[in-house]
A and B are shown apart, each in its own frame.
Chain A
Amino acid sequence: MEALFALLIGLLVAAGVFLLLSRKIVRVVLGLTFIGYAGNLAILTVAGLRELAPPLLTVPGPYMDPLPQALILTAIVIGFATTALLLTVALRAYQVAGHDNVAAFGDNLARDPQAGEGRFADPEHQGPDLPDLIHSDPEEPPEPDTGANTGRAGPGDREGLA
């Protein structure tokens, strides 16, 4: 029976991953839901599927291991909560961006390693910190920011998911 469930779990994970990779935001959320199902079943399967009584003391034993069940119970509730959050974020992202194409959301990281300074792919990278007002060395005036990497506009939609 474990083998059967292992196969089923594999199938659910495969479906979940495929959905996760799609570009439509709702399907991404659905994909995570599927992976969640698979995870819950996997915990139970890994703990062993025996022909024992459920962990209710009202029925005669021997009983199943209650610990994985308790874990899954928590996981179900948390899974629901995260699904709700994801769905809301998806909704909000759609409202802000005006479309629901995950691939087009983009993040604020630069995509061009050769651009600008050439050394920082991350346009949010700050240059050396600005000179302090209190400078401790009397001999040397605070050096101005040499502009080692003053902000350079990153490509892509920087407003995408503000």
Chain B
Amino acid sequence: MTLAVFLPFLLSALAAWLGPRLGRRIGYVAALAFLPALLLALPLAGMPGAVPALEVTRWVPDLGLNLAFRGDGFSLLFAVLIGVIGTLASLYSVAYLSDRERFGRFYAYLLLFGGSMLGLVLSDNLIALFGFWEMTSVTSFLLIGLWHTRAAARDGAVKAFLVSALGGLGLLAAVSLISLAGNSTTLSGLDVAALRASPLFTPALLLTLLAAFTKSAQLPFHLWLPTAMEAPTPVSAFLHSATMVKAGVVLVAKFGLLFGTSPLWSGIIVPLGLATLVWGAWLALRQTDLKALLAYSTVSQLGLLMSLYGLAGAEGNFAGTAHLLNHAAFKAALFFVVGIIDHETGTREIPLLGGLRRALPVTFGVALLAALSMAGLPPLGGFISKELFYEAMLHQGPLFIVVAVAGSALTFAYTFRLLRVFLGLPRAPQGAHPHEAPPGLTLPAAGLAGAALLFGVWPASAEALTRTAQAALNFAEYREHLALWHGVTPALLATGLTWALGAGLVWQAGRVGALQRRLTPRVNANTAYYALLEGVNVFAAWLIARTQGLALPDQLRVMLAAAAVIAGYAVLRAPQVFHPFGTLPLGVLPIAALLVAGAVGVLLARNRLTAVVVTGLTGFGSAAAFLALRAPDLALTQLLVEAVTVILFLLAFRYLPGGRDLKRSRWRLRLDVGLAALAGVGATLLVLSSVRFLAPPISPYYLVNSYAGGGGKNVVNVLLVDFRGFDTLGEVTVVGMVALAVLALVRLGKRGRTATAPEALPPEGLPPEGLTPTPPARHKEPA
């Protein structure tokens, strides 16, 4: 399993490297990456009975941060599914992509995505689960935005990322809460009873739902999935039919075992899932673009899956897993079919196409099988899983079954809208000569459609696959069998009603369309999203303009004020204890006087030489303080540095104008005095509150080992050069870099451009001094 997750990552690097050399043939290498995932079919085959395998790669065991992969039936089933669709998508892309595509990039992204997805379904560690979850968001962002020169692709990528990253943050919070409450970071090791009793249970539940709904495009968050269709079609087939969007479903299925006992869980998921089913299908019926139609159909089908897994019971899990398989088969096949149509005719617009069954007979057959499975017609897999869905909803109540029937009738209707491109009179855009696609495109689609057929005519195959997950999802006791004919049951009657309604919708397509146009709401998820995005943009622009576009001192004032607010709050929260001055050693008083004199003197200094000398006063004062505070090394260093600093300033003054400050306007002066006073008081309080926590020294080790380990009796020196030598190396590097930078700046040229008297200034209403084009060496001020 570990190999199955990591091989795609390894091969993606290879693909990125070899892509430009091998061209489209790199796709065959990419398909190899899913081989270990396909081999997981072997453990899966023994699954309902076999014990789940656990592979742990230890990393930080103390924090519970291991890479743990657990192959229970459900995870393995999903991993194999990802492997199959991933392989098919890779092979399909070889034939589909144009010669000008950047294959290295495309396949690298595709494999990265495949690897993250495999990690996500197999991961047993909650933290790693979150990591893989976010990686699917990031890699799908890359994939959707693959054709990044198109504005729509960028928009779709950003939208998908923003929405699913929002959910990702929710998941991070959720897994943290779960691992805190459940005393474990592994999914299989959680203390479920403690989690259920914990007050963190409900927040964790809600956050998990946020994550699942954003990823699986449930109702308020469904907006990203259709725009994500800007990705190349094979990617859409991979991401949006079989894998990424199902991540939310996986989450609901797996975490349903934890949260399912709460009425809140199914109380939220099931209605929302059903609403998504109906609304997605309603929107799908309106689309003219084939891929958009499929996108909304995916939204709708995900709603169905959600509502099944959301029941968190044996019946729901069984039906959900069965439909998951069917959906993956027929939806990926349909995406591939749409890709073929696009490839052959150059368009995906339904009104422009018609009668393609003559030109594309094989594709038509494939599409027919897949689409009828989607519509839920016998003898296809979709029929069986829809029966199960009805069965489950019948047990929930009359309202549920009504909504379910309505959604399915709409599904029926849009399926026929999809098939319309094959029926009627031949029609295609000018210049297109549709003919049968090469086998590289047809075979993957045919294989999947064949699976959809197989699941229908031989239900035992689908049942065997579904049953592999029974131990993982707790439906071993559920004794229902998949079959085409259960006798005349209420579910069958509901199906009949669905067909009647669906046929009615198809028959009255014109009126339905008119009704849809009339019912289009003015405000929808997309307008809300764009309004929000616009709002954030405007706010950010406003904020930046008010805080960062200012003159530098103003900018500094804003920063200081912000820091004052934050630090002030912190100081306020920390109780202050004022140490008494106590008896001051007399020797300290002159030092204090020196420091104060320097600080006051520099404020009063009228000329730069005085200012520097007075600064030196403080410098020497602090050297004296170091001496008094029993730090002789510091005093020595400070003395030396101080001397050099003063020399440095004097050197620089040969080229710099005088030290008297430019006048500040009165209120600005007050503001500055206020800010400075606040900063001073804040620093004092900070030091005082830190002194309060005076802990025993943490470094007796150095005192003990200085002579034995470093051979020196000056502990500070030994510490710097022996124990923490790399710090000193870093310090020396910094000084060296600074020296180089200084040299570069000085050598840059004797003079730069001199004359730029800015017009938009001065911001303080005073003419800045020295704005005349003056050669720097001949400044006017006296030295």
Contacts and interface: CB of A to CB of B under 8 A. Distances in A.
**Which of A23, A53, A121 lies at the interface centre, i.e. has the most chain B CB atoms within 10 A of its CB?**
A23
A88 B656 CA distance: 10
B595 A11 contact: yes
A37 to B, nearest CB: 5
A143 B149 contact: yes
Nearest to B608: A26
A4 B742 contact: no
A9 B603 contact: no
Contact of A42 (B551, B595, B687, B763): B687
B720 interface: yes
Contact of B151 (A5, A26, A63, A143): A143
Contacts of A138: 98, 100
A129 B148 contact: yes
A6 to B, nearest CB: 4
Interface in A30-66: 30, 33-34, 37-38, 40-42, 44-49, 52-58, 61, 63-66
B352 interface: no
B631 A72 contact: yes
Interface stretch (B370-378, B461-469, B474-482, B693-701): B693-701
A46 B653 CA distance: 36
B713 A57 contact: yes
B588 A4 contact: yes
Contacts of A44: 626, 629, 631, 634
A91 B656 contact: yes
A81 B735 contact: yes
A91 B584 CA distance: 43
Contacts of B225: none
Contact of B660 (A4, A21, A24, A109): A24
A27 B720 contact: no
Contacts of A70: 716, 719-720, 724
Interface in B333-353: 346-347
Nearest to A23: B662
B751 interface: yes
B738 A3 contact: no
A77 B245 CA distance: 56
Contacts of B63: none
A45 B719 contact: no
Given A63-B703, A113-B542, A136-B98, A9 B691 contact: no
Contacts of B742: 84-85, 88
Interface in B627-680: 629-634, 637-638, 641, 644-645, 648-649, 652-653, 655-657, 659-662, 664, 672-673, 675-677, 679-680
B425 interface: no
B622 interface: yes
Nearest to B560: A17
Contacts of B592: 4, 8
Given A74-B720, A78-B734, A88 B741 contact: yes
Given A101-B770, A128-B154, A17 B714 contact: no
Interface string B145-177: 011111100100000000000000000000000
B545 A111 contact: yes
Interface string A119-148: 111100000110110111111101100100
Contacts of B588: 1, 4
The size class of the interface chain A forms with chain B is 35 or more
Contact of B756 (A67, A69, A77, A159): A159
Nearest to B106: A136
Contacts of A83: 645, 648
A117 to B, nearest CB: 9
A80 B602 CA distance: 19
Contacts of A41: 622, 625
**Which of A9, A14, A19, A38 lies at the interface centre, i.e. has the most chain B CB atoms within 10 A of its CB?**
A14
Main secondary structure of the interface of B (DSSP, over half): helix
A52 to B, nearest CB: 7
Contacts of B97: 136
A14 B585 contact: no
A46 B677 CA distance: 21
Nearest to A15: B599
Interface stretch (B32-40, B255-263, B513-521, B574-582): B574-582
A66 B712 CA distance: 13
B102 A77 contact: no
B549 A107 contact: yes
B434 to A, nearest CB: 14
A12 B683 CA distance: 9
Contacts of B698: 65, 67
A91 B770 contact: no
A69 B622 contact: no
B57 interface: no
Contacts of B633: 69, 73
A79 to B, nearest CB: 8
B552 A102 contact: yes
B150 A8 contact: no
A64 B628 CA distance: 12
A88 B580 CA distance: 44
Interface in B743-783: 745-746, 748, 751-764, 768-774, 776
A9 B763 contact: no
Given A2-B691, A80-B641, A22 B755 contact: no
Contact of B676 (A21, A79, A110, A134): A21
A87 B682 CA distance: 28
B553 A102 contact: yes
B630 A78 contact: no
A77 B636 CA distance: 12
Given A66-B719, A83-B648, A121-B544, A23 B553 contact: yes
B716 A73 contact: yes
A118 B539 CA distance: 11
B556 A20 contact: yes
A93 to B, nearest CB: 9
B690 interface: yes
Contacts of A3: 578-581, 688
Nearest to A139: B346
B236 interface: no
Nearest to B579: A3
B619 A94 contact: no
A119 B603 contact: no
Contact of A10 (B545, B632, B683, B754): B683
Given A17-B560, A102-B552, A134-B100, A26 B147 contact: no
A96 B753 contact: yes
B541 interface: yes
Contacts of B724: 70
Given A91-B652, A103-B763, 16 more contacts: A4-B592, A21-B553, A21-B560, A22-B553, A24-B661, A37-B619, A57-B713, A66-B703, A66-B715, A91-B655, A98-B772, A98-B774, A99-B774, A104-B771, A107-B552, A120-B541
Closest 5 CB pairs of A and B: A14-B680, A10-B684, A157-B758, A96-B752, A57-B713
Interface of A: 1-27, 30, 33-34, 37-38, 40-42, 44-49, 52-58, 61, 63-67, 69-70, 72-74, 76-85, 87-92, 94-107, 109-113, 118-122, 128-129, 131-132, 134-140, 142-143, 146, 155-157, 159-160, 162
18 contacts: A5-B687, A21-B560, A21-B676, A23-B664, A46-B687, A55-B715, A64-B631, A65-B699, A70-B716, A73-B716, A78-B735, A84-B738, A94-B656, A94-B657, A106-B758, A113-B545, A135-B100, A155-B760
